[in-house]
Amino acid sequence: MAAKRSTGGDGTKLIVSNRRARFDYHLEDTFEAGLVLQGTEVKSLRDGKGSLAEAWVKIDEHGEAWLMQAHIPEYAFGNRNNHDPVRPRKLLLHRRELDQIARAVSAKGMTLVPTRLYFRHGRAKLEFALGRGKNVADKRQTAKERDAKREIERAMKQRRR
């Protein structure tokens, strides 16, 4: 997705949003985690570059959370020690949260979907949600609801004139 910069009132600056996640999944609980990043990754994110399009979160056998397949491009002014763009990145969560997430993911059909990547008070944060995949009929219903809402807004706008 394209980089979108906005500064919220609570000290957050949005870097990347995964808009496709709401279309492909029924999202339930959301969680916020810190990221373990290298210096050139932080600089690239500050430039507003990155993508969560193919990213996913996994809990490994040691009970640690990892962000997989998130693309943070190499920093343009970096040197030969630049980072790998799609390396796994460790997520920082409390043990209590990790246990809760692991129990929820063990339920059939549940997965962890990254939804937003942003800076909060200068620290990179990832928001991810517990989601259940939608089937084709659910996606069609979502599209119908969105189109109906758009038509209502259009009609209301015409009525105001």
Hey, where are the domains in the chain? 12-134
State mean pLDDT over 60-71: 91
> Which pLDDT belongs to residue 138?
79
Outline where the chain has alpha helix (H): 20-24, 39-46, 95-106, 136-160
Residue 61 has pLDDT above 70, yes or no: yes
| Residue of 27, 44, 57, 47 lying closest to 126 (CA atoms) | 57
Residue 159 has pLDDT above 60, yes or no: yes
Predicted confidence band of residue 3 (pLDDT cuts 50, 70, 90): very low
Cα 107 to chain center, whole Å?
21
**Cα–Cα distance, 89 to 44 (Å, whole number):** 15
Residue 15 falls in which region: left (phi positive, over 0), alpha (psi -120 to 50) or beta: alpha
**Cα–Cα distance, 86 to 154 (Å, whole number):** 42
Going by DSSP bridges, is the β-strand pair 25-35/12-17 parallel, antiparallel, or unpaired?
Answer: unpaired
Q: What is the DSSP letter of 19?
A: T
pTM to 2 decimal places:
0.76
CATH of domain 12-134: 2.40.280.10
Predicted confidence band of residue 148 (pLDDT cuts 50, 70, 90): very high
Look at 79 and 16; give whichever has higher pLDDT: 16
Going by DSSP bridges, is the β-strand pair 123-133/110-120 parallel, antiparallel, or unpaired?
Answer: antiparallel
Q: pLDDT of 29-59, one tens digit each?
A: 899 999 999 888 898 899 888 889 889 899 9
Q: What is the DSSP letter of 14?
A: E
